[in-house]
Protein backbone atom coordinates (compact mmCIF):
# COMPACT_ATOMS: atom_id res chain seq x y z
CA UNK A 1 0.00 0.00 0.00
CA UNK A 2 1.22 3.47 -0.89
CA UNK A 3 -0.35 6.82 -0.06
CA UNK A 4 -0.62 10.09 -1.97
CA UNK A 5 -0.94 13.10 0.34
CA UNK A 6 -2.05 16.53 -0.82
CA UNK A 7 -1.27 19.50 1.41
CA UNK A 8 -3.64 22.37 2.07
CA UNK A 9 -5.71 24.18 4.68
CA UNK A 10 -9.10 22.80 5.77
CA UNK A 11 -12.31 24.75 5.25
CA UNK A 12 -14.37 26.13 2.37
CA UNK A 13 -12.63 29.53 2.43
CA UNK A 14 -9.37 27.92 1.30
CA UNK A 15 -10.84 25.40 -1.14
CA UNK A 16 -9.64 26.80 -4.48
CA UNK A 17 -6.67 28.83 -3.29
CA UNK A 18 -3.17 28.41 -4.67
CA UNK A 19 -1.93 27.10 -1.32
CA UNK A 20 -4.47 24.26 -1.56
CA UNK A 21 -3.41 22.88 -4.92
CA UNK A 22 -2.43 19.65 -3.13
CA UNK A 23 -6.02 19.19 -1.93
CA UNK A 24 -7.27 20.08 -5.41
CA UNK A 25 -5.25 17.26 -6.98
CA UNK A 26 -6.37 14.76 -4.34
CA UNK A 27 -9.97 15.68 -5.18
CA UNK A 28 -9.23 15.10 -8.86
CA UNK A 29 -7.84 11.64 -8.10
CA UNK A 30 -10.95 10.88 -6.05
CA UNK A 31 -13.09 12.04 -8.98
CA UNK A 32 -11.17 9.87 -11.47
CA UNK A 33 -11.59 6.72 -9.36
CA UNK A 34 -15.05 7.56 -8.02
CA UNK A 35 -13.82 7.62 -4.43
CA UNK A 36 -15.47 9.32 -1.45
CA UNK A 37 -13.05 10.96 0.94
CA UNK A 38 -14.09 10.23 4.52
CA UNK A 39 -13.11 11.34 7.99
CA UNK A 40 -10.94 9.31 10.33
CA UNK A 41 -10.31 9.31 14.06
CA UNK A 42 -6.95 10.92 13.33
CA UNK A 43 -5.63 14.15 11.81
CA UNK A 44 -6.55 13.29 8.24
CA UNK A 45 -9.31 12.44 5.78
CA UNK A 46 -8.75 9.65 3.29
CA UNK A 47 -10.08 7.24 0.72
CA UNK A 48 -8.77 3.88 -0.44
CA UNK A 49 -8.69 2.85 -4.07
CA UNK A 50 -7.18 0.48 -6.56
CA UNK A 51 -5.50 0.98 -9.93
CA UNK A 52 -6.32 -1.12 -12.98
CA UNK A 53 -3.22 -3.23 -12.26
CA UNK A 54 -4.71 -4.01 -8.81
CA UNK A 55 -2.24 -1.79 -6.91
CA UNK A 56 -3.99 -0.50 -3.80
CA UNK A 57 -3.53 3.06 -2.62
CA UNK A 58 -4.75 5.75 -0.28
CA UNK A 59 -5.35 9.42 -0.99
CA UNK A 60 -5.04 11.68 2.03
CA UNK A 61 -5.89 15.25 3.07
CA UNK A 62 -4.66 16.48 6.48
CA UNK A 63 -7.32 18.10 8.66
CA UNK A 64 -4.73 20.28 10.38
CA UNK A 65 -3.68 23.64 9.02
CA UNK A 66 -0.71 23.62 6.67
CA UNK A 67 1.97 24.32 9.26
CA UNK A 68 0.88 21.27 11.29
CA UNK A 69 0.74 18.82 8.36
CA UNK A 70 3.34 16.62 10.02
CA UNK A 71 0.84 15.52 12.68
CA UNK A 72 -1.40 14.05 9.99
CA UNK A 73 1.42 12.36 8.12
CA UNK A 74 2.86 10.84 11.29
CA UNK A 75 -0.62 9.57 12.22
CA UNK A 76 -0.99 8.06 8.76
CA UNK A 77 2.32 6.22 8.91
CA UNK A 78 1.58 4.89 12.38
CA UNK A 79 -1.99 3.76 11.70
CA UNK A 80 -1.24 2.08 8.37
CA UNK A 81 2.28 0.79 9.05
CA UNK A 82 3.79 2.86 6.25
CA UNK A 83 7.35 4.08 5.79
CA UNK A 84 8.34 7.57 4.58
CA UNK A 85 9.23 6.12 1.17
CA UNK A 86 5.64 4.82 0.88
CA UNK A 87 4.16 8.32 0.67
CA UNK A 88 4.10 10.91 -2.10
CA UNK A 89 3.45 14.46 -0.92
CA UNK A 90 1.96 17.03 -3.33
CA UNK A 91 2.23 20.72 -2.46
CA UNK A 92 2.35 24.22 -3.91
CA UNK A 93 5.68 25.86 -4.71
CA UNK A 94 6.20 29.60 -5.20
CA UNK A 95 9.63 29.04 -6.72
CA UNK A 96 8.22 27.28 -9.77
CA UNK A 97 6.19 29.09 -12.40
CA UNK A 98 2.51 28.26 -12.61
CA UNK A 99 1.85 25.34 -14.91
CA UNK A 100 5.08 23.43 -14.14
CA UNK A 101 5.92 20.64 -11.71
CA UNK A 102 9.12 19.18 -10.30
CA UNK A 103 9.60 15.83 -8.61
CA UNK A 104 12.05 15.22 -5.78
CA UNK A 105 13.05 11.96 -4.13
CA UNK A 106 13.88 13.72 -0.86
CA UNK A 107 15.35 16.99 0.40
CA UNK A 108 14.78 20.06 2.52
CA UNK A 109 11.59 22.06 2.98
CA UNK A 110 12.41 24.84 0.49
CA UNK A 111 10.68 27.33 2.78
CA UNK A 112 7.34 25.48 2.69
CA UNK A 113 5.72 25.26 6.13
CA UNK A 114 3.86 22.03 5.39
CA UNK A 115 6.99 20.20 4.27
CA UNK A 116 8.92 21.64 7.23
CA UNK A 117 6.29 20.22 9.58
CA UNK A 118 6.43 16.78 7.95
CA UNK A 119 10.23 16.65 8.12
CA UNK A 120 10.11 17.66 11.78
CA UNK A 121 7.39 15.14 12.71
CA UNK A 122 9.00 12.22 10.85
CA UNK A 123 12.54 13.27 11.74
CA UNK A 124 13.55 12.63 8.13
CA UNK A 125 13.40 14.32 4.73
CA UNK A 126 13.57 11.00 2.91
CA UNK A 127 10.15 11.01 1.29
CA UNK A 128 9.25 11.80 -2.34
CA UNK A 129 7.24 14.86 -3.25
CA UNK A 130 5.70 16.74 -6.18
CA UNK A 131 6.40 20.47 -6.18
CA UNK A 132 3.50 22.05 -8.06
CA UNK A 133 4.31 25.51 -9.37
CA UNK A 134 1.97 28.38 -8.51
CA UNK A 135 4.31 31.19 -9.58
CA UNK A 136 5.24 34.27 -7.57
CA UNK A 137 3.64 37.20 -9.33
CA UNK A 138 2.84 39.29 -6.30
CA UNK A 139 4.01 42.61 -4.90
CA UNK A 140 6.58 42.69 -2.15
CA UNK A 141 4.98 41.93 1.20
CA UNK A 142 1.87 40.36 -0.38
CA UNK A 143 2.94 36.71 -0.43
CA UNK A 144 0.30 35.54 2.07
CA UNK A 145 -2.45 37.31 0.15
CA UNK A 146 -1.21 35.69 -3.06
CA UNK A 147 -1.02 32.09 -1.85
CA UNK A 148 -4.38 32.35 -0.07
CA UNK A 149 -6.15 33.83 -3.10
CA UNK A 150 -8.07 31.66 -5.55
CA UNK A 151 -6.84 30.57 -8.95
CA UNK A 152 -8.44 32.54 -11.75
CA UNK A 153 -10.31 30.65 -14.47
CA UNK A 154 -7.39 31.38 -16.80
CA UNK A 155 -4.93 29.92 -14.28
CA UNK A 156 -7.03 26.79 -13.81
CA UNK A 157 -6.83 26.21 -17.56
CA UNK A 158 -3.08 26.84 -17.43
CA UNK A 159 -2.44 24.28 -14.70
CA UNK A 160 -4.87 21.62 -15.99
CA UNK A 161 -2.24 19.73 -18.06
CA UNK A 162 0.09 19.59 -15.07
CA UNK A 163 -2.71 18.41 -12.79
CA UNK A 164 -3.18 15.49 -15.22
CA UNK A 165 0.57 14.88 -15.37
CA UNK A 166 0.76 14.90 -11.55
CA UNK A 167 -1.97 12.28 -11.39
CA UNK A 168 -0.05 10.16 -13.94
CA UNK A 169 3.10 10.48 -11.83
CA UNK A 170 1.17 9.54 -8.68
CA UNK A 171 -0.21 6.45 -10.40
CA UNK A 172 3.29 5.39 -11.42
CA UNK A 173 4.44 5.84 -7.82
CA UNK A 174 1.52 3.77 -6.53
CA UNK A 175 2.13 0.92 -8.95
CA UNK A 176 5.93 0.86 -9.04
CA UNK A 177 7.56 3.01 -6.35
CA UNK A 178 9.98 5.92 -6.29
CA UNK A 179 12.61 5.16 -8.95
CA UNK A 180 10.16 4.05 -11.68
CA UNK A 181 8.18 7.22 -10.91
CA UNK A 182 11.30 9.35 -11.33
CA UNK A 183 12.20 7.57 -14.56
CA UNK A 184 8.68 8.04 -15.88
CA UNK A 185 8.69 11.73 -14.98
CA UNK A 186 12.04 12.15 -16.74
CA UNK A 187 10.61 10.61 -19.93
CA UNK A 188 7.41 12.65 -20.02
CA UNK A 189 9.23 15.87 -19.13
CA UNK A 190 12.01 15.31 -21.67
CA UNK A 191 10.55 13.22 -24.51
CA UNK A 192 13.48 13.96 -26.84
CA UNK A 193 15.89 12.36 -24.32
CA UNK A 194 18.02 15.46 -24.10
CA UNK A 195 20.19 15.62 -20.96
CA UNK A 196 18.22 17.16 -18.09
CA UNK A 197 19.97 20.12 -16.52
Which residues pair with residue 46 across a beta bridge?
Answer: 38, 60
Other residues' Cβ atoms within 10 Å of the Cβ of residue 73: 28
Rounded distance between C-alpha atoms, residue 70 and residue 52, angstroms = 31
> From the candidates 19, 61, 112, 131, which is the catalytic residue?
19
Active site residue 19: yes
- Which residues belong to the active site? 19
Amino acid sequence: MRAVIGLGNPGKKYEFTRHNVGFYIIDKIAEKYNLSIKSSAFYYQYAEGQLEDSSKFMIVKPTTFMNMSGLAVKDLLNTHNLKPEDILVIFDDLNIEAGRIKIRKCGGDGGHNGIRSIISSLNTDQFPRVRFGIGNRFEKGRMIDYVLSEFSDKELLLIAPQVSKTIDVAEKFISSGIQPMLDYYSRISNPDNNPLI
